[in-house]
Amino acid sequence: MLYIIGLGLADEYDITLKGLNAIKQCERVYLEAYTSMLLVGQERLESLYEKKVIIADREMVEQQSDEILQNADKINVAFLVVGDPFGATTHTDLVLRANELGIEVKAIHNSSIMNAIGATGLQLYNFGQTISMVFFTESWRPDSWYEKIKENSSIGLHTLCLLDIKVKEQSIENLARGRKIYEPPRYMTTNQAISQLLEIEQSRNERAYTPETVAVAVARIGADSQKIAVGSLKQLQSVDMGEPLHSLVLVGCRLHILEAEILRSFAVDLPELDKIFARDFKMD
């Protein structure tokens, strides 16, 4: 059997008992290491599992999945995913490949940023479409996510912004020359995400959001060092959220009074936040 096991968000102890028991029964254990990351290293996982953990980078998962699935019709294999097993479409593709080979698949779920974002006080059923933001380059500044924010905003819904992670990436020159030299890991901060958001709004000028739009910056959700900050995009642009991973929420204008009260507890400038609430929001 192929087990696809969610690890949760913070450290080795976030795994469920069901997930840990499944790992104990597996002969090979892979850790997907490019869509997200835990806040602890591989050695901490191996100590708890009492198993060797094989790091599965993007290349392995997307191009060498046969290696992961090898003999999985005869032995148990675990594929570990930070968050929930189906937080990334890549993992659905792995399930389809396993099905084609007649390999039984069992998913063991866990918390992910998609539900843990409720720690902000925002109600999950008031969220619209989630977007992903990638690092801009000098020649590539994609903004396909803008329309989704605009649609969410038009009906007062919140937008969760997932921020880019660059792990084991090659420069264009090294890629062109076939050199297996990788760039240092990079993790997008909320500051960088806000700068990119404001740049695109300035160029498009369709007012899907403005520098005064209320947002929630979050970092290391689920960890003891979790941090949440609420303010306008302009205010949050200068707030240091610390170590990765970061996410950002654009707050919709149809806000429940309970959501507003909890957001106030995380305000970087409460009087200013109250002014924006009074001016721009329709409280349910």
Q: Is 269 annotated as a binding residue?
A: no
**83 annotated as belonging to a binding site for a ligand:** no
Q: Is 48 annotated as a binding residue?
A: no
Diameter over CA atoms, the chain: 63
Is residue 150 within a helix (H) or strand (E), and if so which, with residue range? helix 146-154
Buried b (16+ CB within 10 A) or exposed e, 55-72: ebbeebbeeebeebbeeb
The annotation status of 96 as a binding-site residue, yes or no, is no
CA angle 183, 186, 190 (to 5 degrees): 160
Distance CA 15, CA 190 (A): 27
Judge whether 158 is annotated as a binding position: no
State both tokens at 249.
Answer: 């929420």
DSSP string, 71-130: TTTTS-EEEEESB-TTSSHHHHHHHHHHHHTT--EEEE----HHHHGGGGS--GGGB---
DSSP string, 25-57: T-SEEEEE-SS---SS-HHHHHHHHTS--EEE-
Residue 35 and residue 69: Cα distance in Å, rounded? 20
Q: Which of 148, 116, 140, 67 is nearest to 228 (CA)?
A: 116
Would the annotation count 87 as a binding residue? yes
Helices then strands (H, E): number in the chain? 12, 14
- Confirm if 209 and 276 have CB atoms less than 8 A apart: no
**14 known ligand binder:** no
Which residues belong to the annotated binding site for S-adenosyl-L-methionine?
9, 84, 87, 112-113, 163, 246
Which residues belong to the annotated binding site?
9, 84, 87, 112-113, 163, 246
